[in-house]
Amino acid sequence: MKGKYTELQFSDFRYKLTWEKAINIIQLKQQPFDEYQGIFAEIEASFQQLDQKLAEGKHLVEGINLIADDLEQLTHELEGEASNLEIEVQLASEHRQQGELN
């Protein structure tokens, strides 16, 4: 394709946008050869799968972030409860010492 279409000579076909550009250029100039039509159909199907997987990945990341937020909140709550228990233990110890003195 790079040899036949000078517009694509320096294109980097590792990127989705480049393939979309190539498809548009070829479709504007002429109907692609039969062999290209199959390739383009496969590329389009791959793009759709990629978009779906990206959406699924974003959804999973959102779920993980929610879980992380919940864990952080739980940690703060448990730290507060631990502080309260330390205070109660200290008060009970002081109370016991007072009872022993009497």
**Given this model, what pLDDT does residue 40 score?**
83
Q: What percent of the chain has pLDDT over 70?
A: 91
Residue 42 lies in a domain: no
Which pLDDT score is estimated for 72?
A: 97
User: Mean pLDDT over all residues of the chain?
Assistant: 87
Rounded to two decimals, what is the model's pTM? 0.49
Q: Max Cα separation, the chain?
A: 104
d(CA 43, CA 56): 20
Residue 1 inside a domain? The answer is no
Q: Which domain holds residue 64?
A: 53-101
Residue 87 lies in a domain: yes
Any residues with CB less than 8 A from the CB of 22 and at least 6 apart, and which? 1, 5, 8, 11, 13
Question: Each residue of 88-102: pLDDT tens digit?
Answer: 999 998 888 887 776
Instruction: Indicate the number of domains in the chain.
Output: 1
